Amino acid sequence: MEILRTVAELRQWSRAHKIANRADGVNTIGLVPTMGALHAGHASLIRAAKVSCSQAVVSIFVNPTQFGPNEDFARYPRTFEADCALAQAEGAGAVFAPPVEELYPAGAATFVEVEGLSKRLDGGSRPSHFRGVATVVAKLFIASEADRAFFGQKDAAQVAVLRRMVADLRLATEIVVCPIVREPDGLALSSRNAYLSPGERIQALALSRAIRQAQALVAKGERRAAALIVAAREVLAVESAIRVDYIELVDWATLEPVEVAAPGSLFALAAWVGATRLIDNTIVG
Protein backbone atom coordinates (compact mmCIF):
# COMPACT_ATOMS: atom_id res chain seq x y z
CA MET A 1 0.00 0.00 0.00
CA GLU A 2 1.33 3.41 -0.93
CA ILE A 3 1.27 6.51 1.27
CA LEU A 4 0.71 9.64 -0.78
CA ARG A 5 1.30 13.11 0.63
CA THR A 6 0.71 15.50 -2.26
CA VAL A 7 -2.08 16.12 -4.76
CA ALA A 8 0.41 15.51 -7.57
CA GLU A 9 1.26 12.08 -6.14
CA LEU A 10 -2.42 11.17 -5.77
CA ARG A 11 -3.24 12.27 -9.31
CA GLN A 12 -0.27 10.35 -10.70
CA TRP A 13 -1.20 7.21 -8.70
CA SER A 14 -4.78 7.38 -9.89
CA ARG A 15 -3.89 7.93 -13.55
CA ALA A 16 -1.30 5.15 -13.46
CA HIS A 17 -3.92 2.71 -12.18
CA LYS A 18 -6.50 3.79 -14.70
CA ILE A 19 -4.24 3.09 -17.63
CA ALA A 20 -2.61 -0.06 -16.20
CA ASN A 21 -3.91 -3.38 -17.54
CA ARG A 22 -6.29 -1.57 -19.87
CA ALA A 23 -6.66 -4.72 -21.96
CA ASP A 24 -8.23 -6.48 -18.94
CA GLY A 25 -11.14 -4.07 -18.91
CA VAL A 26 -11.93 -0.68 -17.41
CA ASN A 27 -9.96 0.21 -14.31
CA THR A 28 -11.84 2.26 -11.76
CA ILE A 29 -10.77 4.17 -8.67
CA GLY A 30 -12.84 4.18 -5.48
CA LEU A 31 -12.20 6.99 -2.99
CA VAL A 32 -13.04 6.74 0.72
CA PRO A 33 -12.74 10.20 2.32
CA THR A 34 -12.15 10.08 6.10
CA MET A 35 -10.73 12.11 8.95
CA GLY A 36 -8.88 9.07 10.27
CA ALA A 37 -9.31 7.35 13.66
CA LEU A 38 -10.62 4.56 11.47
CA HIS A 39 -13.13 2.05 12.81
CA ALA A 40 -15.38 -0.68 11.43
CA GLY A 41 -17.67 1.92 9.80
CA HIS A 42 -14.76 3.20 7.71
CA ALA A 43 -13.68 -0.39 7.04
CA SER A 44 -17.09 -1.13 5.55
CA LEU A 45 -16.63 1.78 3.12
CA ILE A 46 -13.19 0.51 2.06
CA ARG A 47 -14.64 -2.96 1.50
CA ALA A 48 -17.47 -1.50 -0.60
CA ALA A 49 -14.91 0.43 -2.65
CA LYS A 50 -12.88 -2.73 -3.19
CA VAL A 51 -15.95 -4.66 -4.31
CA SER A 52 -17.02 -2.13 -6.92
CA CYS A 53 -13.71 -0.58 -8.05
CA SER A 54 -10.39 -2.04 -9.12
CA GLN A 55 -8.44 0.21 -6.73
CA ALA A 56 -9.37 1.92 -3.47
CA VAL A 57 -7.70 4.99 -1.97
CA VAL A 58 -8.46 6.16 1.56
CA SER A 59 -7.93 9.83 2.32
CA ILE A 60 -7.06 10.68 5.91
CA PHE A 61 -7.32 14.40 6.54
CA VAL A 62 -8.66 16.24 9.57
CA ASN A 63 -10.13 19.10 7.59
CA PRO A 64 -9.77 22.37 9.53
CA THR A 65 -12.42 24.26 7.54
CA GLN A 66 -15.27 21.99 8.64
CA PHE A 67 -14.66 22.66 12.33
CA GLY A 68 -16.13 25.70 14.07
CA PRO A 69 -13.92 27.95 16.23
CA ASN A 70 -14.98 26.24 19.47
CA GLU A 71 -15.05 22.70 18.13
CA ASP A 72 -12.70 19.75 18.57
CA PHE A 73 -10.23 20.23 15.66
CA ALA A 74 -7.14 20.28 17.91
CA ARG A 75 -8.13 17.27 19.99
CA TYR A 76 -9.73 15.20 17.21
CA PRO A 77 -8.19 11.69 17.52
CA ARG A 78 -5.20 11.15 15.23
CA THR A 79 -4.11 7.51 14.96
CA PHE A 80 -2.22 7.41 11.67
CA GLU A 81 -0.24 4.17 12.15
CA ALA A 82 -3.31 2.16 13.15
CA ASP A 83 -5.31 3.78 10.32
CA CYS A 84 -2.75 2.67 7.73
CA ALA A 85 -2.79 -0.87 9.15
CA LEU A 86 -6.60 -0.98 8.87
CA ALA A 87 -6.63 0.49 5.35
CA GLN A 88 -4.01 -2.04 4.24
CA ALA A 89 -5.85 -4.96 5.88
CA GLU A 90 -9.02 -3.97 4.01
CA GLY A 91 -7.13 -3.96 0.72
CA ALA A 92 -6.71 -0.24 0.01
CA GLY A 93 -4.04 0.42 -2.62
CA ALA A 94 -3.14 3.81 -1.21
CA VAL A 95 -3.65 6.21 1.68
CA PHE A 96 -3.70 9.91 0.84
CA ALA A 97 -2.68 11.88 3.93
CA PRO A 98 -1.63 15.40 2.94
CA PRO A 99 -0.46 18.16 5.27
CA VAL A 100 -2.96 21.03 5.65
CA GLU A 101 -0.94 23.36 3.35
CA GLU A 102 -1.26 20.84 0.52
CA LEU A 103 -5.06 21.16 0.36
CA TYR A 104 -5.13 24.78 1.56
CA PRO A 105 -2.10 26.52 0.04
CA ALA A 106 -1.14 29.88 1.51
CA GLY A 107 -3.75 32.45 0.56
CA ALA A 108 -6.40 29.84 -0.30
CA ALA A 109 -9.57 31.79 -1.13
CA THR A 110 -11.76 29.32 -3.01
CA PHE A 111 -14.65 27.59 -1.24
CA VAL A 112 -17.60 25.49 -2.34
CA GLU A 113 -20.89 26.64 -0.87
CA VAL A 114 -23.96 24.47 -1.35
CA GLU A 115 -26.67 27.01 -0.58
CA GLY A 116 -29.78 26.12 1.37
CA LEU A 117 -28.97 22.52 2.27
CA SER A 118 -25.84 23.61 4.12
CA LYS A 119 -27.95 25.46 6.69
CA ARG A 120 -30.18 22.47 7.43
CA LEU A 121 -29.78 19.77 10.13
CA ASP A 122 -26.13 19.83 11.31
CA GLY A 123 -25.64 23.03 9.34
CA GLY A 124 -28.08 24.72 11.73
CA SER A 125 -25.80 24.42 14.75
CA ARG A 126 -22.52 24.20 12.77
CA PRO A 127 -22.81 27.21 10.42
CA SER A 128 -19.70 26.74 8.26
CA HIS A 129 -19.45 22.96 8.61
CA PHE A 130 -20.85 21.94 5.22
CA ARG A 131 -18.95 24.69 3.42
CA GLY A 132 -15.77 23.07 4.73
CA VAL A 133 -16.98 19.57 3.86
CA ALA A 134 -18.03 20.49 0.32
CA THR A 135 -14.78 22.35 -0.27
CA VAL A 136 -12.49 19.54 0.86
CA VAL A 137 -14.50 16.81 -0.87
CA ALA A 138 -14.46 18.78 -4.14
CA LYS A 139 -10.67 19.06 -3.82
CA LEU A 140 -10.41 15.31 -3.13
CA PHE A 141 -12.64 14.42 -6.09
CA ILE A 142 -10.65 16.65 -8.43
CA ALA A 143 -7.28 15.43 -7.18
CA SER A 144 -8.14 11.72 -7.13
CA GLU A 145 -10.16 11.64 -10.36
CA ALA A 146 -12.12 8.89 -8.57
CA ASP A 147 -14.90 7.10 -10.43
CA ARG A 148 -16.83 6.52 -7.21
CA ALA A 149 -16.62 7.87 -3.68
CA PHE A 150 -17.99 6.01 -0.68
CA PHE A 151 -19.80 7.72 2.20
CA GLY A 152 -21.70 6.48 5.24
CA GLN A 153 -25.43 7.03 5.72
CA LYS A 154 -24.39 7.90 9.28
CA ASP A 155 -23.67 11.43 7.99
CA ALA A 156 -26.89 11.61 5.99
CA ALA A 157 -27.03 15.40 5.72
CA GLN A 158 -23.46 15.38 4.38
CA VAL A 159 -24.57 12.92 1.69
CA ALA A 160 -27.40 15.26 0.63
CA VAL A 161 -25.04 18.26 0.44
CA LEU A 162 -22.45 16.32 -1.56
CA ARG A 163 -25.00 14.86 -3.99
CA ARG A 164 -26.19 18.41 -4.69
CA MET A 165 -22.59 19.54 -5.19
CA VAL A 166 -21.80 16.69 -7.61
CA ALA A 167 -24.96 17.43 -9.60
CA ASP A 168 -24.34 21.19 -9.69
CA LEU A 169 -20.64 21.06 -10.54
CA ARG A 170 -21.20 18.17 -12.98
CA LEU A 171 -18.43 16.25 -11.26
CA ALA A 172 -17.52 12.85 -12.68
CA THR A 173 -17.36 11.07 -9.32
CA GLU A 174 -20.41 8.99 -8.40
CA ILE A 175 -21.47 9.04 -4.75
CA VAL A 176 -22.16 5.64 -3.17
CA VAL A 177 -23.86 5.51 0.24
CA CYS A 178 -23.18 2.63 2.66
CA PRO A 179 -25.27 1.55 5.68
CA ILE A 180 -24.59 2.70 9.24
CA VAL A 181 -22.31 0.30 11.13
CA ARG A 182 -23.24 -0.06 14.80
CA GLU A 183 -21.78 -1.52 17.99
CA PRO A 184 -23.56 -4.71 19.08
CA ASP A 185 -25.57 -2.63 21.58
CA GLY A 186 -26.79 -0.25 18.85
CA LEU A 187 -24.52 2.80 19.19
CA ALA A 188 -23.49 4.05 15.74
CA LEU A 189 -19.71 3.84 15.39
CA SER A 190 -18.04 7.24 15.42
CA SER A 191 -14.49 8.44 15.97
CA ARG A 192 -16.01 10.82 18.55
CA ASN A 193 -17.29 7.92 20.68
CA ALA A 194 -13.72 7.87 22.04
CA TYR A 195 -14.54 11.11 23.92
CA LEU A 196 -17.31 9.48 25.98
CA SER A 197 -16.75 8.58 29.64
CA PRO A 198 -18.03 5.12 30.64
CA GLY A 199 -21.19 6.72 32.06
CA GLU A 200 -21.77 8.82 28.93
CA ARG A 201 -21.18 5.76 26.77
CA ILE A 202 -24.19 4.12 28.44
CA GLN A 203 -26.34 7.26 28.13
CA ALA A 204 -25.35 7.59 24.45
CA LEU A 205 -27.32 4.43 23.75
CA ALA A 206 -30.44 6.58 23.98
CA LEU A 207 -29.69 7.94 20.49
CA SER A 208 -30.02 4.56 18.79
CA ARG A 209 -32.95 3.73 21.11
CA ALA A 210 -34.70 6.89 19.91
CA ILE A 211 -34.06 5.90 16.30
CA ARG A 212 -35.42 2.40 16.93
CA GLN A 213 -38.46 3.89 18.67
CA ALA A 214 -39.22 5.96 15.56
CA GLN A 215 -38.70 2.89 13.36
CA ALA A 216 -41.08 0.88 15.55
CA LEU A 217 -43.77 3.54 15.27
CA VAL A 218 -43.34 3.66 11.49
CA ALA A 219 -43.64 -0.14 11.39
CA LYS A 220 -46.98 0.23 13.21
CA GLY A 221 -48.19 2.68 10.58
CA GLU A 222 -47.34 6.04 12.16
CA ARG A 223 -46.30 8.56 9.51
CA ARG A 224 -46.67 11.94 11.23
CA ALA A 225 -43.41 13.76 11.82
CA ALA A 226 -44.69 15.31 15.05
CA ALA A 227 -45.49 11.90 16.57
CA LEU A 228 -42.09 10.45 15.62
CA ILE A 229 -40.25 13.48 16.96
CA VAL A 230 -42.13 13.49 20.29
CA ALA A 231 -41.46 9.79 20.76
CA ALA A 232 -37.73 10.18 20.08
CA ARG A 233 -37.53 13.23 22.34
CA GLU A 234 -39.09 11.23 25.19
CA VAL A 235 -36.47 8.51 24.84
CA LEU A 236 -33.63 11.05 24.92
CA ALA A 237 -35.15 13.00 27.83
CA VAL A 238 -34.59 10.03 30.16
CA GLU A 239 -30.80 10.59 30.13
CA SER A 240 -29.53 13.47 32.26
CA ALA A 241 -26.30 13.98 30.25
CA ILE A 242 -28.17 14.35 26.93
CA ARG A 243 -29.14 17.67 25.37
CA VAL A 244 -30.97 17.52 22.04
CA ASP A 245 -29.59 19.58 19.15
CA TYR A 246 -32.23 18.58 16.59
CA ILE A 247 -34.73 15.82 15.86
CA GLU A 248 -36.27 16.15 12.40
CA LEU A 249 -38.08 14.34 9.65
CA VAL A 250 -36.87 15.72 6.31
CA ASP A 251 -36.75 14.91 2.63
CA TRP A 252 -33.33 13.29 2.21
CA ALA A 253 -32.63 15.10 -1.07
CA THR A 254 -33.55 18.65 -0.02
CA LEU A 255 -33.25 18.33 3.79
CA GLU A 256 -36.50 20.33 4.00
CA PRO A 257 -38.82 19.25 6.83
CA VAL A 258 -41.77 17.04 5.90
CA GLU A 259 -44.91 16.62 8.00
CA VAL A 260 -45.68 13.10 6.87
CA ALA A 261 -43.12 10.37 6.19
CA ALA A 262 -42.88 9.38 2.54
CA PRO A 263 -40.43 7.28 0.53
CA GLY A 264 -37.08 9.03 0.82
CA SER A 265 -37.80 10.64 4.18
CA LEU A 266 -34.89 10.86 6.60
CA PHE A 267 -35.48 10.79 10.34
CA ALA A 268 -32.35 12.31 11.85
CA LEU A 269 -31.21 13.51 15.24
CA ALA A 270 -28.19 15.10 16.87
CA ALA A 271 -27.59 15.37 20.60
CA TRP A 272 -24.91 16.36 23.02
CA VAL A 273 -23.87 13.61 25.40
CA GLY A 274 -21.95 15.65 27.96
CA ALA A 275 -19.48 17.61 25.79
CA THR A 276 -19.67 15.22 22.83
CA ARG A 277 -22.04 15.82 19.94
CA LEU A 278 -23.32 12.62 18.31
CA ILE A 279 -25.71 11.95 15.41
CA ASP A 280 -27.89 9.09 14.24
CA ASN A 281 -30.61 8.57 11.66
CA THR A 282 -32.81 6.17 9.75
CA ILE A 283 -34.53 6.25 6.39
CA VAL A 284 -38.30 5.85 6.74
CA GLY A 285 -41.24 5.79 4.40
d(CA 225, CA 233) in angstroms, rounded, equals: 12
Q: Is 207 in the site for ligand AMP (CB under 6 A)?
A: no
Residue pair 175/163 in contact (Cβ under 8 Å)? The answer is yes
The upper half-sphere exposure of residue 102, i.e. CA atoms within 13 Å in the direction of its Cβ, equals: 18
Three-state DSSP at 98 gives coil
Window 79-118: contact mask with ligand AMP (x via CB under 6 A): ----------------------------------------
Q: Is 34 helix (H, G, I), strand (E, B) or coil?
A: strand
Q: Is 19 helix (H, G, I), strand (E, B) or coil?
A: helix
Under a CB-based contact definition with an 8 Å cutoff, are residues 25 and 138 in contact? no
Tell me the per-residue interface mask from 44 to 63 with ligand AMP, x by CB under 6 A, - otherwise.
Answer: xx------------------
Element (H, E) at 177: strand 174-178
* Distance in Å, CB of 153 to ligand AMP, minimum: 7
Segment interacting with ligand AMP, rule: CB under 6 A, options 120-128, 168-176, 181-189, 239-247: 181-189
Smallest gap from Cβ 255 to ligand AMP, in A, equals: 16
Q: How far is the CB of 202 from ligand AMP (least distance, A)?
A: 18
- Helix, strand, coil percentages for the chain (3-state, nearest 5): 45, 20, 35
Task: Choose which of 55, 118, 191, 208 interacts with ligand AMP (CB under 6 A).
Answer: 191
64's CB contacts (< 8 A; 6+ apart) are 73, 100, 104, 132
Output the residue with the shortest Cβ distance to ligand AMP.
Answer: 152
Taking CB under 6 A as the rule, which mask of x and - marks residues 124-153 in contact with ligand AMP?
Answer: ---------------------------xx-
Tell how far CA 1 is from the center of its chain: 24
120 belongs to the binding site for ligand AMP (CB under 6 A): no
Residues touching ligand AMP, count (CB under 6 A): 17
129 tagged catalytic: no
Minimum distance of ligand AMP from residue 181's CB (angstroms)? 4
Out of 102, 147, 155, 239, which residue is the one contacting ligand AMP (CB under 6 A)?
Answer: 155
Shortest spacing between CB 122 and ligand AMP, in angstroms? 12
Contact segment (CB under 6 A) with ligand AMP among 76-84, 91-99, 103-111, 186-194 equals: 186-194
Residues with Cβ within 8 Å of residue 173, at least 6 apart in sequence = 31, 141, 144, 146, 147, 148, 149, 166
- DSSP 3-state of 74: coil
Torsion angle of C-alpha atoms 88, 85, 146, 59, degrees rounded to 10: -170
Minimum Å distance from CB 27 to ligand AMP? 23
Instruction: Provide the binding-site residues for ligand AMP, judged by CB under 6 A.
Output: 34-35, 41-42, 44-45, 151-152, 154-155, 178, 180-181, 188-191
Which residues are known catalytic residues? 42
